[in-house]
Amino acid sequence: MKTWRVLLGAAGLVLAGQLVAAEAPKLTAYERSQGWRYLFDGKSLSDWRGFRMDLVPPNWQVVEGSLTSGGGPALVSAEEFNDFELLFDWKVSAGGSAEVFFHVNEDGSWPGESGPVMQLAGDGVKMAGNGGLTEPLREIKLQPDVWYRGKIVVYGNSVEHWISGDRVLHYLVDSPDWRAAVAGSSFKVFKDYGLLREGRIALSGKGVIFRNIKIKAL
């Protein structure tokens, strides 16, 4: 009986963690005073449109307070950002993929031609990676259909990727290591890749769900 109580207690903690991650969006008075605001509040997509489009493409849907994609054109923020801290909850189904880009322009055919990426899920992807340019500080094994909390912090040339409270990646854009990594990668074909100081946030993926997307200018 004691064993079952322990197992049930552990299951309850997991369930509680899932429910916390999936709570309805809300900002505290302190968060508002610090400059936080929602890019997606569980209802409106007024802050978003399709990449190189005027409207939100049909592959992105708001379902029960979450933003879902079955694959297709990327979503970009209507506003451009310079230095910022971005927070978002996300999960992906088995076999799905998910990416978040920043400092994106729309001169190319997809966000990854200009904006650095935070990879979340996909074939051969290291969670919180940046396309293989920088080795993550730790490896996190993806669990399908489990909520994670992602964070991107951009300040000057410094970029940090966080997953559920752990800093997983840090790099300096346009540093000697960065330039060498880009030169040895598939990104080298894109002129001035990652060097924009301002641009749009972009979301991409298949079988992915986002919610509680909020941002603070730094």
Residue 4 counted as domain residue: no
Residue 11 counted as domain residue: no
- Which residues are CB-neighbours of 145 under 8 A, at least 6 positions away? 91, 92, 93, 94
The helix or strand, by DSSP H or E, that contains position 206, with its residue range, turns out to be strand 199-217
Residue 10 counted as domain residue: no
Residue 17 counted as domain residue: no
Structure tokens at 82: 């310079």
Per-residue confidence in pLDDT tens, the chain, 218 aa = 444 343 334 344 344 444 444 556 789 998 998 999 999 999 999 999 999 999 999 999 999 999 999 999 999 999 999 999 999 999 999 999 999 999 999 999 999 999 999 999 999 999 999 999 999 999 999 999 999 999 999 999 999 999 999 999 999 999 999 999 999 999 999 999 999 999 999 999 999 999 999 999 99
Residues of the domain holding 111: 25-217
CA pair distance 198, 192, nearest whole angstrom: 13
Percent of residues in the chain assigned helix, strand, coil, to nearest 5: 20, 40, 40
The tally of domains found in the chain comes to 1
CATH code, domain carrying 140:
2.60.120.560
The helix or strand, by DSSP H or E, that contains position 30, with its residue range, turns out to be helix 29-33
Residue 7 counted as domain residue: no
CA pair distance 209, 22, nearest whole angstrom: 11
Q: Calculate the alpha carbon distances from 124 to 8, 108, 174, 211 in Å.
A: 34, 24, 25, 25
pTM for this model (two decimals): 0.88
Contact 39, 28 (CB under 8 A): no
Residue 213 counted as domain residue: yes
Residue 100 counted as domain residue: yes
**196 backbone dihedrals φ, ψ, rounded to 5°:** -65, 140
Residue 16 counted as domain residue: no
Contact 212, 27 (CB under 8 A): no
pLDDT of residue 6: 36
